[in-house]
Structure 1
Amino acid sequence: MSGKILIVDAVATNRIVLKVKLSAAHFEVHQASSGGGAMAIARDLRPDLIIVGAALTDMECGDLIAALRARPDLAIVPIVALLPEDTGEARVAALRAGADDVISQPIDERIMLARLRGLLRQHHALQDMRLNAGPDCAAGFGEAQGGLLRAGRITILGVHMSDAMALRTRLRSSCHHQITALEAGGPVTGSPGAPAADVFVMLIPEGANETGLELMAELRASPEARHSRIVCLVPIGSRALAASLLDLGASDVIIGPAELDELTLRLTRQIQRKQAVDHLRTRLHDGLRAAMIDPLTGLYNRRFAMPFLKELAMANGSQARSFAVMLADLDHFKQINDRLGHAAGDRVLCHVADLLGSSVREVDLVARIGGEEFLIVMPGANGAEARQAADRLCRRIAEAGITIRGQSQPAHVTVSIGVAMGETANEGAEDEDANGRIDALLEQADRALYRAKARGRNTVTISARPAA
């Protein structure tokens, strides 16, 4: 795995040893001997991960971590603390300062590389989400990451139920999160329809390495747990198992007896990350939805409708299936805006959109593709069904009264509809063929709409020939 790693340590030997190990693993390694130097290098380098040693001449390790975290461009970069000795007190201090993980000397190369790979994998995935989300959503992630932590859900999965229950009792005394204990191998949510945990804690006892790996693979493949964090607790001496679990997708692995303060801190950190990523995912989803939804009417827009129509046209099957494309346009809509105002015009558009959406089948698509123009796509419909549906739409809209603020009488509008019939593609058809067929289909529906307008409006015209 590639990535830029910045090593910060005043001891040259520590930097050299780490650089040799990381370079052999194909990382791009950079070095700094002081906190100030690290801040300057990080500004230009934009590292993917930073390793901070305890021996610094100009500041404490915790102060440097806090300074790095305060930089917006480095706020989500993984930081690993390199400890001269492995003690619970030192690990807790580094984690409280903002480190994502800790490694201690003497360095276990396999564990270290597995931890770094895991952190980089999560970091790169997050970067992709932020890139797709755009600057507003990226800022939203920063806000969520530094925001108030809500109570989360923790599920302890034990190979032996007694171990899971014992750990639940311990954790309940130190954290405010909702904690559930389950026997490993059953439903990960405990009961159908229940929400999945923010964090799963897997307890793997001595001699259960294969079982632990199987459970890890199953949990990562579970649809309910696809966004959950996973923390594994393994026996002391199970370093090979720990490395494998990290490479399988564990968010964190604790080797040996877990001190309560450290375990609580690690779980809370995982919940905080999960909530921040959920916040970003929600904003990303909302942004994508907004890009495909017309903000006035709530219908789909052209950006969604055109790919939908193309996919329908390219849907290969044992035999071609017909589908209908309708273009519906409000009659004399400009007069409504001129006489009653644009607010009234918006109210009419929303009312017509509601009528169209409620008058078609669930499988049909209704989209607003222009000012007062709507597209209706009916998969599987033949000509007679399309004509019947279009006539029904005309009648419903003409008969419906629209309440306009400031008007004593309901307003009435009509639509004209042009219909064209298409067929799904033959097997082996190319994308270019579909684009041409869709253009021809829309052109025929538009001509049919023009003829409906010419015939006096409030009517339906069907194209005389199929477009596919």
Structure 2
Amino acid sequence: MSGKIMIVDAVATNRIVLKVKLSAAHFEISQATSGRDAMAMARVVEPDLIVVGAALPDMDCADLIVALRAAPGTAVTPIVALLPQDTAQARVHALRAGADDVITQPIDERIILARLRGLLRQHHALQDMRLNAGSERAAGFGEAQGGFDRPGRITLLAVHMCDATALRTRLRSACRHQIATLRAGGPVTQAPGAPAADVFVLMIPGRAGDAATSEMALALMAELRAAPEARHSRIVAVVPSGCQPLAASLLDMGANDVIVGEADLGEWTLRMSRQIQRKQAIDRLRTRLHDGLRAAMIDPLTGLYNRRFAMPFLRELATAQAPGGKGFAVMVADLDHFKQINDHHGHATGDRVLCHVADLLGNGVREGDLVARIGGEEFLIIMPGADGDEARNTADRLCRRIAATAIMPKGEAGPVHVTISIGVAMGRGGQTSGAAAASVDALLEQADRALYRAKARGRNTVTLSARPAA
């Protein structure tokens, strides 16, 4: 995996050793020797990940992490603290400052590369989501380093349930998240349809060097990653002391974090909190992406589909081979004298009329038919598999229903009546993609001409095109 990694350490030996290991893994390396240099270099290099050593001449490792988190360019950049000693206090101090992970010396090449690969993989995926979803702050990710929107859901998956129960008791005393326990290898939710956990903690029993332990851990990890309910959840694996090779394999299989051996309760709480923060931030991004996609194909006033969605749908019908060689119907419908409604009653009433007509059209067609608003007061109705008689009958029924329904606007003395004119054209499927585009254009033109004839005949009527589109 390629990526830009910045190493911050005042000790030349530390930088050289780490640079050799990371360069061999094809990372692009930059180096800084102090906190001040690191802040300046980060603005220029824009690293994908930062490794911060403990030996800095001008500030503490944790102080630099806090400063990097406060800078807009590195607020969400993965940061790994490289500590000279493996103590619970030092690990908690670095995690609390905002480090994504903590690695201690001497460096185990397998575990550090796996951790960096995992962090970079997640970072690049998030970058893609943020680009598609819009600005970080608008999507909620800019606040991911802060508090929570809601308590998270943690599920402890264990082979031996006594291990899960003991850990749940510890965690409940230190965090406000909902914590459940389940047996590993079974269903990942407590009931069908229940929401999955934000974080799954996969607890692996055994001892270092035991082939059975590794085989079981990898199988459980593969099952959990494949579970549809867990596809958006974070996974933290817990492995016995000395199982660094297994930890590296689990990280490469998609674990978001791995805890090797015993961990201080404060470290547990911070790691769980960080995973829940990230899960909730990703959920906000996913929601923003979904809303953006919906906005791209839904008319915001009426809730109907828009032209951007309807046209590809129509082209697909023209290329698809319908069962039994059936064709499809296309209707272009236009409200009669709609400008007079806006002029006499105001645009607010006009909007209410449009929404009212949209509801009548949407409720007056078959399941599987499509109704779209394609202009100011113009609608498109597509009926797959319909013949001319069925299309004509549907259009007549819609005309009658709209004409018979009065709309009572707010503040008006009396109801507002509206009618609609509809032009109908018939199309056929099974065409090549090139021919389908031209056929759709011709079909819409025929429906438009039929609509004009309906208007010329006095409005509030239906006209069927004389011939099907070629």
The TM-score, its normalising length taken from structure 2, stands at: 0.96
Q: 1: CA distance between counterparts of 2:319 and 2:28?
A: 45
Query: Residues 26-175 of structure 1: matches in 2 within 5 Å?
Result: 26-135=26-135, 140-175=140-175
Q: 2: CA distance between counterparts of 1:382 and 1:146?
A: 59
Question: 1:229-259 CA deviation, whole Å, 9 max, x = no partner?
Answer: 0000001121121111101110000111222
What is the match of residue 196 of structure 1? Answer: 196
Are the equivalent residues in 1 in contact too, given 2:427–2:469 (CA < 8 A)? yes
| Deviation of the 1:149 alpha carbon | 4.6
Distance 1:321 1:137, change over 3 A: farther
Matched, 1:314 2:319: yes
Distance 1:134 1:322, change over 3 A: same
Query: Residues 172-187 of structure 1: matches in 2 within 5 Å?
Result: 172-187=172-187
Matched, 1:438 2:440: yes
Counterpart of 2:305 in 1: which secondary structure?
A: coil
Q: 2: CA distance between counterparts of 1:328 and 1:67?
A: 60
Moved more, 30-39 or 133-142: 133-142
Are the equivalent residues in 1 in contact too, given 2:156–2:201 (CA < 8 A)? yes
Are the equivalent residues in 1 in contact too, given 2:3–2:120 (CA < 8 A)? yes
Q: 2: CA distance between counterparts of 1:225 and 1:360?
A: 38
What is the match of residue 389 of structure 1? Answer: 394
What is the match of residue 294 of structure 1? Answer: 299
Distance 1:317 1:14, change over 3 A: farther
Question: 1:323-380 CA deviation, whole Å, 9 max, x = no partner?
Answer: 2111110011111111111111111111111111111122111111100001111122
Distance 1:353 1:43, change over 3 A: same
Matched, 1:357 2:362: yes
Are the equivalent residues in 2 in contact too, given 1:138–1:280 (CA < 8 A)? no
Are the equivalent residues in 2 in contact too, given 1:5–1:48 (CA < 8 A)? yes
Q: Give the letter aligned to residue 287 of structure 1.
A: G
Are the equivalent residues in 2 in contact too, given 1:204–1:232 (CA < 8 A)? yes
What is the match of residue 231 of structure 2? Answer: 226
Q: 2: CA distance between counterparts of 1:202 and 1:335?
A: 67
Q: 2: CA distance between counterparts of 1:137 and 1:75?
A: 11
Q: 2: CA distance between counterparts of 1:388 and 1:369?
A: 22
Aligned length: 465
| Deviation of the 1:294 alpha carbon | 1.3
Structural RMSD (CA): 1.6
Moved more, 231-240 or 163-172: 163-172
Q: 2: CA distance between counterparts of 1:260 and 1:424?
A: 65
Counterpart of 2:409 in 1: which secondary structure?
A: coil
Counterpart of 1:197 in 2: which secondary structure?
A: coil
Counterpart of 2:134 in 1: which secondary structure?
A: helix
Q: 1: CA distance between counterparts of 2:352 and 2:138?
A: 35
Consecutive unaligned residues of structure 1, counting only runs of 5 or more, are none
Are the equivalent residues in 2 in contact too, given 1:302–1:367 (CA < 8 A)? yes
| Deviation of the 1:162 alpha carbon | 2.1
Distance 1:13 1:152, change over 3 A: same
Matched, 1:376 2:378: no
Are the equivalent residues in 1 in contact too, given 2:139–2:284 (CA < 8 A)? no
Q: 1:336 aligns with which of 341, 357, 369?
A: 341
Are the equivalent residues in 2 in contact too, given 1:209–1:241 (CA < 8 A)? yes
The TM-score, its normalising length taken from structure 1, stands at: 0.96
Q: Give the letter aligned to residue 268 of structure 1.
A: S
Counterpart of 1:76 in 2: which secondary structure?
A: coil
Kindly, what percent of the aligned residue pairs are identical? 75
Are the equivalent residues in 2 in contact too, given 1:219–1:225 (CA < 8 A)? yes
After TM superposition, the runs of 4+ consecutive aligned structure 1 residues lying more than 6 A away are: none
Moved more, 401-410 or 190-199: 401-410
Distance 1:264 1:324, change over 3 A: same
Matched, 1:458 2:460: yes
